[in-house]
Each structure stands twice: as structure tokens, then as C-alpha cells.
Amino acid sequence: MAQDYRLMIDLVMNHVSSKSPWFKGFLEGDKRYRDYFIVSDNKIEMPEVFRPRETPLFTGFNTAMGKKYVWTTFSADQVDLNYKNPEVLLEIVDVFLFYLSQGAEIIRLDAVGYIWKEAHTRCVNLSKTHQIVKLLRRILEYVAPYALILTEANFPYKDNISYFGEGHEANMVYQFSLPPLVLDAFARHDTGHIQEETNKTRQDLLFFDFLASHDGIGLSGARGILDDKELLTLVEMAKAHGGLISYELKDGTEVPYELNISYFDAVNDPGQASDPLAVKRFIASQAVMLALKGVPGIYIHSLLGSRNYYRGVRETGIKRMINREKIPVDVIDRTLSDVRSLRHQVFSGYLHLLNVRKKISSFHPAGTREVLNIDKRLLTIVRQYRGKAVRVVINVSKDIIFLPEYQGNFDLISCKAFEGKVPPYGVFFLTTNIKDPSETGPCNKDIPNRSVSGLFEEKEIAL
């Protein structure tokens, strides 16, 4: 597979399955695994420990040594590893090297902030955690200098970007603030927070930009950017749109941690399913991610326009199943072939946007970006790379906004001259250099001559 694709492989560092050979060995009394886990003879309460769950920190297991309680940060079936045992670190380094030997070019460090535990601390983002990330980076630079480390640390912005270190830890970091900030922009028809945070971010930092994943829409990354009232607005909007809320315990109090909802339903009210702007609004939200500097990560259910999957929640009792539907291939084929279906309209619009974007060199992750504060209802970003530039204009409101100063620019999405107005939820990639074939490459005949703004007009959506 590595011969045909650039692979990102997930290295789950914090925990293993309770059904894994390592933990089974521990349960059976195998001395090798005795210190692989954090174990107590009694059930311990440690309220100072930060964790995005309401479940007990220690889970009881029957072992060959009797009843033991084992540290489980996330759930009873995910058992935390004990990095104070050097053998555990060596085992993980061995897995790290194995992934690289199989052709991985990006190693994603899952839940990395939780790996080191110290008594009387919050047990997240501790200095020894950063030292372990530095160690992996040194190994990477020696054996696979072409590869990258990506840290997945769902914490407030300052803690998240701390994994860049001084340039000796992660090469790339998840942009956890982005999903709630984009949702906030569409909820309030105001891109102010995105503009401000983008302008504050150093140009040399590389982010993995995403809006949705197999988890929910985390709120931690936006704390300190959005105030409590704005966060509560997102929580209430998610509920109104049929979503669920997951909580964390903070000083003994439940605090909203995650919105469990499909991103399509997060930006659109399911009660207004026939809204002709629904698909355009969703595509515009995704265009924000594609416009920002970084590497975009697209969740399959966003690409397919999936809705809230309540059956999965009912059958499992797991809130995150609302955005984890397993769809039979024949169902996908059938709905994507139906031009009236929601999936077809989302997929075709998204795919067109991606096909255009990948032909524009200005979007290169090593390029630069400049946010223009023209109108709070617009996100206007100039992306540049090696002397070439594209101006992205995205309307996060249902208003028509006039931009006469850009009239006559060439839109690389519709392959037409920009008429000076941005329709509701309109998306434009504008250039002024229409005589340079390398600047107008997306408008070659192999790309359909259609616009994201006009793809879905006057069509009834079959849900």
C-alpha cells in the first residue's frame, strides 16, 4: 500500500485493549507484564486527574493475583500503559520503528498528552511526556528523516501547540480549535474569531486541519478563544439540531467536553431538511478548512454528507456512534448515483472543490497566508506560494455581500469572471492573473465547468 499512497499510521501510546495479549498476560499473572500497567489493590479516587470522561479512573479486574484495580483513563476496555517501566517505552519504540519499516510517512501519536502520570498532578502534558515525544523525533530524524510526527492532543490551544516544542517535538499538530470555531462562525454569521486566531498563529507552524472525525466536536481546543456564553450557544445549538453532549468532570462538576453530532447536522437544522441552502452551507464550512494553511483531513462521513445516526447510539449506548455509521457499499453506490440525493450533492460538490484545490499551488502547506478583514460575514484569505497567489472568499451568512473591488477577478471554481457579489454561503477562489495558464490550471477542460455556489440551486434534495 505504501507504494501507491502516502500512509499515516496511528500509534496508540497511552493504552492497549483489555483484550490485548499484554493485558491478558497481566491477568494471567505473567511476570513480564506485571509492571506494564498502573495497578492498585484498592479502588482509588483521584479527582485532581484531568480526563474527558465521567467513568471511574480505576477499573476492577479479576486476576491470578486476586482483584486488582487498573488505571483506565478513557474506558474499561482501554487500559493505560505504565511508562515508568522502561520495558513499556522500549515496546512502543519497537512498534514505532515497525510502522516506519512498513512505509509510514506520518506517525499519529494518539492521546499523547496522557501517557505520563505523576501523583498530585493533573496527569496531562507533563514534562516527561514531552521528553518522550522528543525521543521519538530524534529516532525519526535518524532512521526516517522524510517522515513526520503528528500529535493528537485535544487540549486548549496553548497546551496543544506546546507539542511543537522548540522545533524538536511534533512536526505537525492537530488544529483542535478549528471545528468549534467554524461552527461558531456559521452560528453567528461572524468570522471574527477565526480571523483573529489565524492572524495570531505563527506562519512556520504546520497544522493538521480538520472539522470532523470518528470522535465528536471537541470544545477544549476553543476554550480561551470562545467565552463561556459562546460555548454554551454551540452546546444548545447542537442539542437543537439533534446532537448529544458528552461531559468531563472538572473539580467534581460536569462540563461540556464534546458535541456528538454529524458536522452536516451541526451546521444545518435537521428540522429544516428541505432548506435549499443546506448543502451550500455545509460545503462552505468545509471550504474554510481547505482555505487555511495546513494539511486538511477529511472525515469520510463529511465527504458523504452523512446525517445523525441515532440507531448506532440506541444499539450501543455510545454517544459517538452518532457519527460512526457503517454504510454498506451498495447503499453508497446507489445514493451517490442519485443526483437528487443529499449524498450525491454533498459528494459531488466536495469532490469538485478538492479537484480544484489540488491544482492550485498557492495552497501548498509551506506557503503563506494573510487574512483580510473586509467583512465579518466573510472569511477572506490570500494564500501564496512561490510568487503565485489565490484569494479565497467564503460567505458564512445567508446574506448577499457585494465586493465591487474584486469584480473582474477570475474564479477558479466556476471558471468565470467574478461579478462582484458573494451569494449566501458562496465560495470563491479568485485570481487576477488570468493570462497565466499555470494560474488558471483548474479551469482546464478536465475539470467540470461548474461552481460550488451554483451546483445545488433549483434542485430538490432527496434525503
Over residues 255-269, mean pLDDT: 96
Identify the active-site residue in 110, 159, 215, 275: 110
Residue 406: which of 422, 386, 416, 420 has the closest Cα?
420
* 283, 425 Cβ separation under 8 angstroms: yes
- pLDDT tens digits along 163-199: 999 999 999 999 999 999 999 999 999 999 999 999 9
- pLDDT tens digits along 239-251: 999 999 999 877 7
Tell me what pLDDT residue 140 has: 98
Least confident of 80-84, 114-118, 274-278, 316-320: 274-278
With a pLDDT cut of 90, the percent of the chain lying above it is: 85
Give residue for cell 471511574: 56
Tell me what pLDDT residue 445 has: 60
Query: What residue ranges define each of the domains in the chain, with the CATH number in brackets?
Result: 14-80 (3.90.400.10), 156-357 (3.20.20.80), 367-443 (2.60.40.1180)
- pLDDT tens digits along 366-415: 999 999 999 999 999 999 999 999 999 999 999 999 999 999 899 999 99
- pLDDT tens digits along 401-452: 999 999 989 999 999 999 999 999 999 999 987 666 666 667 866 544 444 4
| Helix, strand, coil percent values for the chain (each to nearest 5) | 35, 25, 40
- H or E, element range at 106: strand 104-110
- pLDDT tens digits along 41-87: 998 889 889 888 878 999 999 999 999 999 999 999 999 999 999 99
Q: Is 324's pLDDT higher than 80?
A: yes
* 382, 370 Cβ separation under 8 angstroms: yes
Tell me what pLDDT residue 439 has: 67
Task: Report the DSSP beta bridge partners of residue 244.
Answer: 260
Tell me what pLDDT residue 433 has: 76
What does the mean pLDDT of the chain come to? 92
d(CA 179, CA 296): 12
Q: Is 134's pLDDT higher than 70?
A: yes
H helix and E strand count, the chain: 13, 22
Over residues 259-281, mean pLDDT: 91
Please name the residues in contact with 268: beta carbons below 8 A apart, sequence gap of 6 or more.
241, 275, 278, 281, 282
Active site residue 110: yes
Confidence of residue 462 (pLDDT cuts 50, 70, 90): very low
d(CA 40, CA 207): 39
Q: Is 133's pLDDT higher than 60?
A: yes
Tell me what pLDDT residue 456 has: 39
pTM: 0.91
d(CA 270, CA 285): 16
Residue 336, Cα to own-chain centre: how many angstroms? Answer: 24
Instruction: Compute the radius of gyration of the chain from its Cα atoms.
Output: 24
d(CA 125, CA 364): 31
